[in-house]
Structure 1
Amino acid sequence: MNQILSLWHRMVLSCLLATAAAGAAAAPLADPTVAGTTSLVLEYHVKPVNRLALRQFMQGEGLARLDKWKRDGLLSNYKVLFNRWVDNQNWDMMTVLNFPTADKMASWREIEAALPAGLPQQALALVDRIDTNPADLYLEGGASKGSGVYVVIPYDYLVSTDKYLAYLRGYLVPQLDGWLKEDVLNRYQVLLGRYVVGRHWSALMFYEYNGDTGLGLRERTQAKVRADLVRNNPDWVAWSKDKGQYRVNRQYIIADELKSAR
């Protein structure tokens, strides 16, 4: 009898842990109403003739400098993405800086004073325009496998932050978790912008795909997961009917994460 009870307790504990782990993926990671900003998104626009030079700079000196800032404790993490295609409607390079604390984020102004947008003069000379967006990481799921293949999607959300987060958890996250289970997606992150009036996005989605194979299966997997949700998740169906009132999406960007050339 004791053995049966012990087995039952272990089963209950396993179910509770699995439930907690599943919920953690969709839990908010920051609250912009009470916490200091800890992320900065920088978008760099260059003429096509300067794309190669900027990429080569970042793969050498640029990534080395970011690595040093991380070792020194200024950054907790970072990633540098390069638009896969020449695209006049969007950025060529994006750098996402994550800071361990809001105080570290505030100290970025000292970097800006010497290296605007984190770039020395020779790299700045290659750039036509830079957009800087303070943001907070709100939702994430999955785990990076280092594939370096990303889809980045900017949105403007049209409702309160709380309502938008409810929409994300009710409509978006069930789909993304389905993509994770299908192994086409490795990781997702959702950032919400600060001081968004006049900026060109208020929410930013990062989807790291399981290589180009996973990216190529995006549409087929999306249709499969949505069909499953229609059959099994009435709450998702309700959210899907009203999604247009919550957000406006911008152009999708296919991007590759830059790695050191050394």
Structure 2
Amino acid sequence: MKPNSIRTFGRAIAAAVALTGVLQAGAASAAVPGDGDALSLIITYQTAPANRPALRHELEQSTARELARWKHDGHIKQYNLLFNRYADSDNWDAMAVLTFSTPADLYRWRVVERTRPAALSGKALAVTTSIHTTPVDAKRAEALDAKLPNAVYVVIPYKTLVSAGEYEKYADGYVIPQFKGWMDEGVLAGYSLYTSQFPAGRLWNAMVLLQYKDEAALSARESVVAKVRERLKSSPEWKAISDSKKNVRTEEQVVIADPVAVNQ
């Protein structure tokens, strides 16, 4: 990288820190998890296209019920169970995001794994071709509403190209203000940003879950993104980061997903 580019990005990151301090409603109200409640697992499942209906049925009949029970019993703090809206052999078919209150709760999860690997029943395992479990930290979040009836999820994995500290400053100064703007526009209900604890060899090392209120909100995504970015350009700090030529992350394949509910 050329010296001028380095100086430009350095000023951008410094501006991000200043913006974080000024906009307390940004990172501060983003419900930054503490060390004791940030532990999560992101589990993805793949199946053959012909078995997608069978996997979803079993998730509704068994896994969703078990996750609800484990939450009620205090074994997990929160969960999201999602199903990829589209058949896509290059991506996952289902995803579970499990959040634990303490490291001890996460440690106890190994007991579940003995009889229900990745929280799946025997029938679900029989039609599952691959499972990837990634221990992650929840770095930034605005609570996802599990009871939102028509919610649609956009799941975006990233490969970060800077240090963990630089990435968090970038998120606070550039990404989170956009999420907050989308919420102000009434399309986004909540979000979570996770980073992998053990990124070596993984296909991604950061992941964002965006919860849109409904299909109409998702359809307005592009116009709202453009509108909020145009508004944020009035902030010299945000614009400095936007104009920086530093490559902070690369976006991987996006998934549109729907929540899996208990089949009554």
- TM-score, normalization by structure 2: 0.86
1:74-113 to 2 correspondence within 5 Å? 74-113=75-114
By relative contact order (CA 8 Å, sep 6+), the higher-ranking structure is 2
Shift of 1:25: 2.8
Matched residue pairs, number?
240
CA distance in 1, matches of 2:251, 2:27: 26
The residue number in structure 2 matching 1:136 is 137
CA distance in 2, matches of 1:170, 1:21: 12
Stretch of structure 1 that moved more, 155-164 or 241-250 = 241-250
The residue number in structure 1 matching 2:32 is 28
What secondary structure, in the 3-state scheme, does the structure 2 residue paired with 1:107 have?
Answer: helix
User: Letter of the aligned partner of 2:260 in structure 1?
Assistant: L
User: Letter of the aligned partner of 1:38 in structure 2?
Assistant: L
- TM-score, normalization by structure 1: 0.86
8 A Cα contact 2:38 2:99, kept in partner: no
The residue number in structure 1 matching 2:123 is 122
Shift of 1:143: 5.5
The residue number in structure 2 matching 1:187 is 190
Shift of 1:194: 0.8
Identity %: 38
What secondary structure, in the 3-state scheme, does the structure 1 residue paired with 2:79 have?
Answer: strand
8 A Cα contact 1:74 1:99, kept in partner: yes
CA distance in 2, matches of 1:207, 1:68: 25
Residue-by-residue CA offset, 1:64-100 (whole Å, 9 max, x unaligned):
1111111221111111000000011110000011111
CA distance in 1, matches of 2:180, 2:104: 33
8 A Cα contact 1:189 1:205, kept in partner: yes
8 A Cα contact 1:179 1:185, kept in partner: yes
CA distance in 1, matches of 2:245, 2:44: 27
CA distance in 2, matches of 1:67, 1:36: 19
> What residue ranges of structure 2 are gaps of 5+ in the alignment?
1-22
Shift of 1:26: 3.5
Kindly indicate whether residue 221 of structure 2 is the aligned counterpart of residue 218 of structure 1: yes
The residue number in structure 2 matching 1:73 is 74
CA distance 1:205–1:124, shift in 2 (3 Å): same
Stretch of structure 1 that moved more, 113-122 or 96-105 = 113-122
8 A Cα contact 1:26 1:169, kept in partner: no
CA distance in 1, matches of 2:194, 2:141: 9
1:1-262 to 2 correspondence within 5 Å? 21-26=25-30, 28-30=32-34, 38-141=39-142, 144=145, 146=148, 147-230=150-233, 232-242=234-244, 245-262=247-264
CA distance 1:121–1:199, shift in 2 (3 Å): same
What secondary structure, in the 3-state scheme, does the structure 2 residue paired with 1:137 have?
Answer: strand
Shift of 1:22: 4.7
CA distance 1:155–1:183, shift in 2 (3 Å): same
CA distance 1:30–1:246, shift in 2 (3 Å): farther
8 A Cα contact 1:134 1:194, kept in partner: yes
CA distance in 2, matches of 1:190, 1:253: 15
CA distance in 2, matches of 1:175, 1:225: 7
Residue-by-residue CA offset, 1:34-62 (whole Å, 9 max, x unaligned):
x6862001000000111101111111111
8 A Cα contact 1:189 1:207, kept in partner: yes
8 A Cα contact 1:83 1:92, kept in partner: yes
User: Letter of the aligned partner of 2:209 in structure 1?
Assistant: F
